[in-house]
Amino acid sequence: MEVSIFLAVITASVLIAIYSRYRHAARNTRDFFVASGQFGAVLVFFLTIGETYSIGSVLGFPAGIYTQGSGFGLWFLGYILLSYPVGYFLNPRVWALGQKYACVTIADIFRNHYASRVLEILIVLNTTLFLLPFGEMQFAGLMVVVRNLGWHVSGMMMTGASALLTLAWIVLSGIRAPAYVSILKDVLMVVAIVLGGYAALHAMHWPAALPPLSRPAGGVHGLPGGNAFIVSTIILQSIGLCIAPQTVAFLFSARSPRTVQKNQIFMPLYMLMFPFLFMMALYVRTAGMTPASPNDVFMVAVCATLPHWARGLVAGGCALSALVILAGICLALGPLVSRNLMPGHSDRTQKTGAQVTIAIYLLVSVLGGASLSGLMVMLNNLYYIGVTQLAPGIIVAILNRRVSAMPIIAGLLCGDLIGISLFFLHVMPAGLNPGMIGLTVNALIVWGGMVRTSAQAT
Amino acid sequence: MHDHDRRDNDTGIVPAISLPVLLAGIVLPFCLVIGGCLALQAFRMALFGIPLEMIWMFACFILVPACLTVCWNMSPPGPDGKQVK
């Protein structure tokens, strides 16, 4: 039964992708990757909100609550929630930059504003490097779902089929496929999470009988660095979520900046599903279940509380969740390589080049996902350390300040180097997130460049 | 379903940022979420088994949109030159 429902969901997604092509076959590269900036409020909403219920969030949040308690919930929910106010101010202005320079990728902003080929290549390398683990994360999550459902399908076969499906969506109709499929995906995820959370509440006899969530040993919240780490991580990642390459590409697909801004108001309401995920983690913890790994917590709760048909629905929702996010990353990555790394080609060649890049990326992600281990949160942290370093350069462009590319390049390199080094050395000065230290140094270098340019002008 | 929904008739103009708008849209949400949660965390109390700081975080899922709605209403787009087109 669960396999039939799962297959029905996947078939529905393919039909939706075909429908999206039937409605609007992509005419050129800009249309293929950012829908020529024609998406209305609904499609932009579902595209940009997708990150909230990625497979990483759905599996990672209960995993973190299970192992680290409420402190994990504070930074995890805090950064997602606060990315909406940040995006309220930032996103329409990034959209305006996209319109001004006819951008398809985030690197287009840097190329056009700073007129530097070196900076453009650096932005491509920086984003590509940090997007690589993000694709693997989706596949690793998918394998957790399949393993817990006890399906006799090898992980490699499952992720390989998923990669092919993602590629098929993209080739069919570019950004429109994940945009349209994301509506189905989000409806399924909401249903799955509410069902799972309600079943967990029922099984726990909440609120009559529930012991308080015990604090982890070694501190109030079980996170290294204490409150300084929580606050700095929230600030860092709330900015990072807004300027991630795929988010920026989604913004370019919007028709109007006010649409983008208005969506940010309603997005936090979409997080009202997280209490249900919290309850599922609480249920696994209080019922004394022992998942094989923390990432299994969500699926352990699903398998223990839901009937077979609902498990099929959850599996379908999780699979679509992983694939929609993956498609978004691919669509951000493909033109970064074919357009920014290898410029000067015709529109058609750019599109083909991007599709080849996407195929290679998917292959690498499948192979990487098979050997991925440990908490997904670790990869998540590394991703934000790198991606957030683009913020100072984007803010200078938004402010329309003329600064040479040199301070932006220097700031980006220093920010990356410091953030990653501190991360791998497990050094957190004053308990701050390593990425925040890197971002601060980056911002100071860029600010110095601005001051110097102003002084030279006068 | 179309790429652009029929009600999507926004003006395409973003209002300039003012201090009250920044306070309502950024400062207040950050204070509510970070300040509120960390303050409640210090009490180490729970309601129906759920830590108070988590309950506050869940409440912020409503409070933050409320702040942004105030912000939206404080800054209707107009034709002045300070706006970003």
For residues A201-215, average pLDDT: 67
By CA distance, what is A73's nearest residue in B?
A: B54
Q: Which of B13, B65, B85 sits opposite A268 (nearest CB)?
A: B65
Cβ-proximal residues to A137 (8 Å cutoff; 6+ apart), any chain: A55, A56, A369, A372, A376, A379, A380
Residue B81: pLDDT band (50, 70, 90) is: very low
Residue among A340, A259, A203, A225 at smallest CA distance from A87: A259
By CA distance, what is A281's nearest residue in B?
A: B50
Q: HSE on the CB side for A430, CA within 13 Å?
A: 7
Residue A216: pLDDT band (50, 70, 90) is: low
Give buried/exposed letters for A68-89 (b at 16+ CB in 10 A, else e): bbbbbbbbbbbbbbbbbbbbbb
Nearest CA distance, B42 vs chain A (angstrom): 8
pLDDT of A373 higher than 70:
no
For a pLDDT cut of 70, what percent of chain A falls above it?
Answer: 91
pLDDT at position A355, please?
83
Q: How many CB atoms lie within 10 A of CB A8?
A: 13
Which chain B residues are Cβ-neighbours of A262 within 8 angstroms?
A: 10, 72
Nearest CA distance, B31 vs chain A (angstrom): 10
pLDDT at position A417, please?
92
Rounded Cα distance, A261 and B43, in Å: 36
pLDDT of B78 higher than 80:
no
Whether B10 sits inside 8 A of A35 (CB atoms) is no
For residues B11-40, average pLDDT: 86
Nearest CA distance, B81 vs chain A (angstrom): 15
> φ and ψ at A137, to 5 degrees?
-60, -40
Rounded Cα distance, A171 and A30, in Å: 14
pLDDT at position B82, please?
46
Rounded Cα distance, A265 and B72, in Å: 8
pLDDT at position A86, please?
95
pLDDT of B84 higher than 50:
no
- Contacts for B38-46 with beta carbons within 8 Å, 24 or more apart? B38/A74, B38/A227, B38/A230, B38/A231, B41/A70, B41/A71, B41/A74, B41/A220, B41/A221, B44/A215, B44/A220, B46/A212, B46/A213
Enumerate the domain spans of chain A.
2-377
Mutate to test the interface with B, among A36, A61, A70 (most CBs of B within 10 A): A70
Mutate to test the interface with B, among A233, A258, A259 (most CBs of B within 10 A): A258
C-alpha dist (Å) from residue A43 to A39, A122, A299:
6, 31, 29
Which chain B residues are Cβ-neighbours of A180 within 8 angstroms?
A: 1
Whether A257 sits inside 8 A of B38 (CB atoms) is no
Q: Which of B14, B17, B50 sits opposite A258 (nearest CB)?
A: B14
Nearest CA distance, A368 vs chain B (angstrom): 35
C-alpha dist (Å) from residue A177 to A3, A6, A15, A19, A220:
23, 19, 10, 9, 44
Which chain B residues are Cβ-neighbours of A207 within 8 angstroms?
A: 48-49
Nearest CA distance, B76 vs chain A (angstrom): 10
Nearest CA distance, A22 vs chain B (angstrom): 11
**How big is the CA angle at A310 (ends A305 and A314), to the nearest 5 degrees?**
95
pLDDT at position B80, please?
44
Question: Which of the residue ranges A215-229, A283-297, A348-362, B13-27 would you say has the lowest mean pLDDT?
Answer: A215-229
pLDDT at position A430, please?
83
Question: What do you get for the CA distance between the two ends of chain B, in Å?
Answer: 28
CB A131 within 8 A of CB A240: no
Tokens 């399908």 belong to A153
Question: Which of the residue ranges A164-178, B25-39, B48-62 would you say has the lowest mean pLDDT?
Answer: A164-178
Residue B85: pLDDT band (50, 70, 90) is: very low
By CA distance, what is A267's nearest residue in B?
A: B65
Architecture of domain A2-377: Up-down Bundle (1.20)
For residues A358-369, average pLDDT: 81
By CA distance, what is A92's nearest residue in B?
A: B14
For residues A93-100, average pLDDT: 90
Question: What is the predicted ipTM?
Answer: 0.85
Q: How many CB atoms lie within 10 A of CB B12?
A: 16
Q: Which of B10, B50, B65 sits opposite A213 (nearest CB)?
A: B50
CB A302 within 8 A of CB A196: yes
Give buried/exposed letters for A182-197 (b at 16+ CB in 10 A, else e): bbbbbebbbebbebbb
pLDDT at position A376, please?
47
Residue A221: pLDDT band (50, 70, 90) is: low
Residue B77: pLDDT band (50, 70, 90) is: low
Task: Please provide the size of chain B in residues.
Answer: 85
- Give me chain A's average pLDDT, please: 83
Whether B5 sits inside 8 A of A227 (CB atoms) is no
**What is the SS3 assignment for A21?**
helix
